[in-house]
Every structure is written in C-alpha cells, then in structure tokens.
C-alpha cells in the first residue's frame, strides 16, 4: 500500500510539473512560429528640418506596438510582427540617400518614405532600382508618384484636399473674391500649387498675388507686405509646417490682415494654436485633423494612448503620419500574401477598398498622377476660431 501511495505521489508531482511547464512551452513554440517584418522609416532627426519631422521618428515605436497589438500580419499562415527601423536623413537629400542605402543593405524592402519631398525624390533612383516599395503619409506632387516610379505610393495626396478647402471657403466666407498665395518653395509643391490655381479659376475667384518663400524663412514681413498691397480677401498658404504657418499668420495679422488664412495642410491644429498670438487665432482652417477631438477615429485614439505613454512630447498630427502610411502598407502586403514588392504593388493598385486611419478609402491617383498609387479617403478639416478648434471629417 505504501508503495502504491509513493507511486501516486510521484505521478501527481509529475503532472503538476507538466502543468507549470506547459505555458512556457507554448510561449516558446509561439515565439518560434512568429517572424519579424522590418519596415524602414526615414525622417529628419537632425538638421533644420528636424523641428518639423522628428515627431515622425518618435512615433515609430508606438506605431510598431499599435500594429502588433492588432495582431501584426499573416502571410500564408505565417504570422509576422512589425519592427520599424529608423534612419536620419539629416535634413538633406544626400543624408536621405545614405539612410536609404543603409536600410537597403540591411535587406529591408519596405519603407515609410521621407515626408520632406526633397529627400523622397533623392532616394527614388536607388530605391526603384532595388525594388523598394515606399509609402509616405501625406504626398504632394507628381515628382514623387507617377508612372515612372513603380514602387512609390502616397497614403493620401494633399491635392485631394483642395476642393474640400474651397468648398469650405465658399460656404463659410462667401464674400471672399480675391486670393493671395504665400507658400514655401517646396521641391514637390508645383503640382499642388498648379491645382490650387485651377481651383481658384474654376470658382471664379481672382488670384491677385502669388510668391514662394525660401525653405527656412522666418521673416515673412517683406513678402506679406507685397501680398497685402494687392488687397486680398484671403491668404492660401497651400502647404506648410508649424513654424512657417505660425509666422505667416502672426505677421500678416500684425500687418492688419483680418481675412481667412487657410491651406490644404499647415500644421497640427493644437500645435498651431499654441504658437499663435491669441488675438490672431481666428478664421484659420486647413485640411488636417484635431487629434484630440472626441470625433477622432478609434485607431487614432488608440495610437494616442501609446504615444503619450512612450514619448515625452504631446501627441500631434505629425505622429499620425507614421500609421497613416503603415496601415495601408500592411493591408497591401496581406492582400498580396507575399513579401515580394512587385506582388504587393500589384495588390495595392487593385484594391477597391482600403481602411485608413480616417475611415474607408480607395486606391486612386490615375486621374492626377497617371497611376493608382494614391489613396483617396475622408478629409479631416480643422478650423481655428477664437483660439478654439472646430473639427469635422468631410466625405464625398
């Protein structure tokens, strides 16, 4: 009897040991079955453009974590978790080329492309030759996407925002007739400037002034003085980043301009409000989100939580550019069920429906860029009135 009892005790101990060991074994097996998909991200960590684009680098880890919390991706039964590998373009085209070369040498085939057009244009030759699929959160002109750029995509093209902005202008400021354009001399901005001019003509408005300022300008008084001599009713900034947008708004108001100031995109709305003289924070609108709005989409709200947990700086629109690019890219890879960039390109081009961080979208671009490499999705629009932000998502 004593022998039987001893055998039972040993058996029970073995069972208990097995039960404790099982979870560890399953975790190890799951880890062995999960692979990693590396995505390159190039942006400015140093140099004069870092003020506008370092937030993109800061958002890489939260974006990686968000997509992994959502399950990563699965290709032919194989699960992949996402790892974002960041490189500094040093605020220069040559720095961008060096960064891209390093990622290519590391075997990375998918890039979140530099947001600054000059850098993205610079890496195109080596990226195209290496068949690197690259996508950027917000795109501007034909210089970065077109039939001769097989592997380049926009998660959204700012040019699609222009009609929404002018619809908004007509609805909310019907007395506006004369427009002045004051915009940066951006190497990728020609397409969007031309589209803006056409929109002005199409609506029977008068373009009374147009001039581009050099990248890095802080003193806008000379150009604004010339613009205001033409007595415009509104100023279209077209595209900008926070320091430039705030400078144009504050300085034009100081010079006595009281009309609406707007753009397809200027800056994070909350950041912009904080940079404005409070008495000048009125009649400003742009096609960009208020990322703190309760009307914001759930994926952006979830991303905000991760960013605020991991980064010391406040959450802003620039952070969302990473998931704006990453989210559709991963959908394209899953649709293709392949890591072959040619197959992923073909899958993206033919997607009739694609989820975006601002709602349901579709692949488009043939009409403007000559190739379906730009996603059309709802347009977030923010207006600053009396220092407060009004936000809505516009659809057509």
Q: What is the pLDDT of residues 61-105, one digit of tens each?
A: 999 999 999 999 999 999 999 999 999 999 999 999 999 999 999
349 in Cβ contact with 373 (< 8 Å): yes
Q: How many CB atoms lie within 10 A of CB 82?
A: 20
Tokens 């975006």 correspond to 356
pLDDT at 70: 96
Which tens digits make up the pLDDT trace of 26-50? 444 444 588 999 999 999 999 988 8
Residue 242: pLDDT band with limits 50, 70, 90: confident
Range from 84-93, 186-195, 379-388 carrying the lowest mean pLDDT: 186-195
Cα Rg of the chain, angstroms: 25
Domain boundaries, the chain: 36-158+296-377, 160-293+382-394
Which residues is 239 bridged to in the sheet? 265
Which tens digits make up the pLDDT trace of 103-122? 999 999 999 999 988 899 99
Is pLDDT at 331 greater than 60 in this prediction? Answer: yes
In the numeric block, which tokens belong to residue 106? 């590391």
CA-to-CA separations, 305 to 34, 125, 308, in angstroms, rounded: 26, 38, 5
Choose among 88, 126, 137: nearest CA to 104.
126
Is pLDDT at 3 greater than 80 in this prediction? Answer: no
Residues 101 and 105: their CA atoms lie apart, in Å, by 6
Residues 104 and 123: their CA atoms lie apart, in Å, by 11
Question: For a pLDDT cut of 90, what percent of the chain falls above it?
Answer: 79
Is pLDDT at 21 greater than 80 in this prediction? Answer: no
Residues 373 and 347: their CA atoms lie apart, in Å, by 11
Q: What is the DSSP string of 139-176?
A: B--TTTSSTT-TTEEESSBGGGGHHHHHHHHHHH-TT-
pLDDT at 188: 63
Fold classification of 160-293+382-394 is Rossmann fold (3.40.50)
Is pLDDT at 25 greater than 50 in this prediction? Answer: no
pLDDT at 23: 53
In the numeric block, which tokens belong to residue 178? 């004369």
Residues 43 and 54: their CA atoms lie apart, in Å, by 7
Is pLDDT at 18 greater than 80 in this prediction? Answer: no
Which tens digits make up the pLDDT trace of 258-304? 999 999 988 889 999 999 999 999 999 999 999 999 999 999 999 99
Is pLDDT at 22 greater than 90 in this prediction? Answer: no
Residue 189: pLDDT band with limits 50, 70, 90: confident
Q: How buried is residue 109: exposed, middle or buried, by Cβ count under 10 Å (0-12/13-18/19+)?
A: buried
Mean residue pLDDT of the chain comes to 91
Q: Considering the domain 36-158+296-377, what is its CATH architecture?
A: 3-Layer(aba) Sandwich (3.40)
Choose among 143, 164, 177, 360: nearest CA to 260.
177
In the numeric block, which tokens belong to residue 261? 């100031």
Q: Rounding to the nearest 10 degrees, give the CA dihedral for residues 325, 370, 212, 260.
A: -70
Confirm whether 36-158+296-377 and 160-293+382-394 share one CATH topology. Answer: yes
More confident residue, 321 or 19: 321
264 in Cβ contact with 210 (< 8 Å): no
Which tens digits make up the pLDDT trace of 125-139? 999 999 999 999 999
pLDDT at 10: 41
């Amino acid at each position: 009897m004593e022998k039987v009892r001893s055998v039972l005790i040993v058996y029970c101990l073995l069972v208990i040991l097995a039960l404790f060991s099982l979870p560890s074994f399953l975790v190890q097996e799951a880890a062995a079955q999960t692979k990693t998909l590396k995505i390159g991200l190039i942006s400015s960590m140093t140099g004069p453009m870092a003020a506008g684009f370092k937030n993109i680098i800061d958002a890489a880890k939260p974006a990686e974590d968000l997509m992994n919390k959502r399950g990563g991706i699965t290709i032919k039964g194989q699960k992949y978790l996402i790892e974002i590998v960041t490189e500094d373009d040093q605020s220069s085209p040559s720095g961008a080329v060096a960064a891209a070369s390093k990622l290519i040498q590391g075997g990375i085939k998918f890039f979140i492309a530099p947001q600054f057009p000059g850098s993205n244009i610079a890496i195109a030759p080596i990226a195209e030759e290496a068949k690197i699929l690259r996508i950027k959160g917000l795109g501007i002109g034909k210089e970065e996407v077109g039939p001769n750029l097989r592997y380049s995509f926009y998660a959204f093209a700012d040019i699609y925002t222009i009609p929404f902005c002018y619809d908004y202008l007509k609805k909310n400021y019907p007395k506006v007739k004369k427009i002045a354009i004051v915009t940066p001399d951006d190497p990728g901005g020609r397409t969007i400037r031309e589209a803006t001019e056409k929109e002005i003509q199409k609506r029977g408005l008068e373009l009374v002034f147009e001039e581009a300022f050099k990248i890095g300008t802080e003193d806008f008084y000379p150009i604004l003085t010339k613009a205001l001599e033409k007595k415009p009713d509104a100023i279209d900034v077209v595209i900008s980043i926070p320091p430039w947008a705030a400078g144009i708004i504050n300085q034009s108001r100081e010079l006595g301009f009281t009309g609406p100031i707007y753009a397809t995109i200027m800056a994070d709305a909350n950041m912009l409000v904080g940079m404005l003289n409070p008495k000048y924070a009125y009649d400003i609108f742009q096609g960009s989100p208020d990322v703190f709005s309760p009307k914001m989409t759930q994926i952006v709200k979830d991303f905000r939580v991760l960013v605020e947990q991991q980064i010391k700086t406040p959450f802003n629109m620039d952070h969302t550019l990473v998931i704006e690019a990453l989210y559709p890219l991963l959908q394209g890879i899953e649709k293709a069920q392949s890591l072959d960039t040619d197959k992923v390109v073909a899958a993206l081009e033919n997607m009739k429906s694609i989820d975006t961080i601002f709602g349901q979208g579709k692949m488009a671009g043939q009409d403007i860029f000559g190739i379906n490499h730009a996603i059309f999705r709802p347009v977030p629009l923010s207006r600053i009135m009396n220092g407060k932000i009004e936000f809505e998502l516009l659809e057509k």
